[in-house]
Amino acid sequence: MLSRSLSAIAAALRNGEITSLELTEAAIARHDAVGGVLNAYKTWNADEARLQARAADAALVSGAVLGPLQGIPISVKDLYGVKGWPTFAGTPKRLPPQWEQEGPVVAALRRQLGVVTGKSHTVELAFGGLGVNPHWGTPRNPWDAKAHRLPGGSSSGAGVSLWEGSALVALGTDTAGSVRIPAAMTGTVGLKTSYGRWSTAGIVPLSYSLDTAGVLARSAADLAYAFAAIDPAWGDAAALDAATAGLDLDAVRIGIAGAPLWDDCSPGIAEAARRALDELAKKDAKLRDAPLPQAKDAIALLHQGSVASAECDAFLEAELPDWRPHLDPIITIRIADGGAIPARDLLLRYRRMQRLSREVVACFEGLDVIAAPTVPVTPPTLEEVADLGAYRRLNMLALRNTCLANYLGLCAITIPVGLDAAGLPVGLQLYARHSQEERLLAIARAAERVLGVPRERLGPPPLAAA
Q: What is the pLDDT of residues 111-156, one digit of tens each?
A: 999 999 999 999 999 999 999 999 999 999 999 999 999 999 999 9
The answer to whether residues 143 and 425 touch, using CB atoms and an 8 Å cutoff, is: yes
Does domain 6-458 fall under CATH 3.40.50.2300? My reply is no
The answer to whether residues 228 and 234 touch, using CB atoms and an 8 Å cutoff, is: yes
Position 466 scores a pLDDT of 59
Q: 266-295 burial by CB neighbour count: b if 16+ within 10 A, else e?
A: bebbbebbbebbeebeeeebbbeebebebb
Q: Where are the alpha helices (DSSP H) in 283-431?
A: 294-304, 308-319, 329-339, 343-360, 388-399, 403-407
Three-state DSSP class for residue 91? coil
CA 175 to CA 200: how far, in whole Å? 11
CA 105 to CA 26: how far, in whole Å? 25
Segment 51-73, tens digit of pLDDT: 999 999 999 999 999 999 999 99
Count Cα neighbours of 80 within 13 Å in the Cβ-side half-sphere. 34
CA distances from 357 to 333, 363, 399, 410, 428 (A): 29, 11, 18, 8, 22
Active centre residues (catalytic): 77, 154, 178
Position 238 scores a pLDDT of 75
| Short-list 350, 260, 342, 360, CA closest to 301 | 350
Position 333 scores a pLDDT of 86
Q: Would the pTM count as exceeding 0.95?
A: yes
Strands 73-77 and 115-120: parallel
CA 54 to CA 83: how far, in whole Å? 18
Position 334 scores a pLDDT of 83
Helix, strand, coil: what percent of the chain each, to 5? 45, 15, 40
The answer to whether residues 41 and 118 touch, using CB atoms and an 8 Å cutoff, is: yes
Q: Is the predicted pLDDT of residue 305 greater than 90, yes or no?
A: no
Sorting pLDDT into bands at 50, 70 and 90, what band is 465? low
Count Cα neighbours of 226 within 13 Å in the Cβ-side half-sphere. 32
| Short-list 127, 55, 65, 66, CA closest to 91 | 127
Segment 240-268, tens digit of pLDDT: 777 788 899 999 999 999 999 999 999 99
* % of residues, the chain, pLDDT over 70: 100
Residue boundaries of the structural domains of the chain: 6-458
Peptide linkage before 199 cis (omega within 30 of 0): no
The answer to whether residues 434 and 405 touch, using CB atoms and an 8 Å cutoff, is: no
CA 411 to CA 405: how far, in whole Å? 6
Question: Looking at 175-285, which runs of residues are DSSP E strands?
Answer: 189-192, 212-217, 253-256
CA 164 to CA 442: how far, in whole Å? 27
